[in-house]
Amino acid sequence: MPAEPIVRQSVVDVLVERLRTDILDGTHEAGSLLPSERELAASYGVTRTTLKHALSRLEQAGLLRTRHGVGTRVLDFLRSGGADLLPLLVRQDGRWLSDVFEARLAIGGLIARRAASRRTAAQGARLRAAVDAVAQASDPAGAQLAEAEVHRELARATGNRVYLLLTNTLLNAYLPVRHHMNSPFADPVVAADRVRQVVEPVVEGKAQEAGRAAEGYLRVTAEEMTADLMRHERRS
């Protein structure tokens, strides 16, 4: 399997992650004012220019609000944050994963029903090809990534781009920790056969059957991946 590329991070990128983590874990409490820019830059060992860039990005993410003459206040991310925070929240606290999987189950059944009602012949062919790609994966990690593409194809087949963005959001939430949750994909051929039971009713236009199959599949794989993560956390 080819190695994943090393992502080069700037000082601003690193500082954004540090500050974001300190906000989400309560080091900087919601409602409080951050220390002055001079103090904050010194405490993190960065220049004030670097700090300003980082604070601007966190303000855009809905974690901070800066008012001239008042300072920079920490916002309640559950009121002002966006879905882009989910990957970090899952890495920081595994309990978020159960919320992600609950949402994944609810929207997954709906997407399967919509896809069965709206898919075109070309989309049906792409869905089957996506399942074949799972079976052809060389290892569990590859099979898991290929399975994620099946979900994206299902969302595309609904004809509703919002479903695709929601699917991406949920996938992005747990894929960063996927290496600890790959038992459902241990055998790529078996993994493909399982997800094929969702895809075939969609291709055949059987909406209710597709929805039930998707909900069953998503429930079981969520249980398996959650168990994997719990075992990893115990070993850690």
pLDDT digits (tens, 9 = 90+) for 120-149: 999 999 999 999 999 999 999 999 999 999
- Summarize pLDDT for 203-234 with one digit per residue, the tens: 999 999 999 999 999 999 999 999 998 888 78
Structural domains in the chain, sorted by start: 11-80 (1.10.10.10), 84-235 (1.20.120.530)
How far apart CA 114 and CA 73 sit, in angstroms, is 43
pLDDT above 60 (res 4): no
pLDDT above 90 (res 21): no
**What is the rounded average pLDDT of the residues 173-200?**
93
- pTM of the entire predicted model: 0.77
**What is the rounded average pLDDT of the residues 172-180?**
85
Instruction: Considering only residues 221 and 94, tell me which one the structure prediction assigns the higher pLDDT.
Output: 221
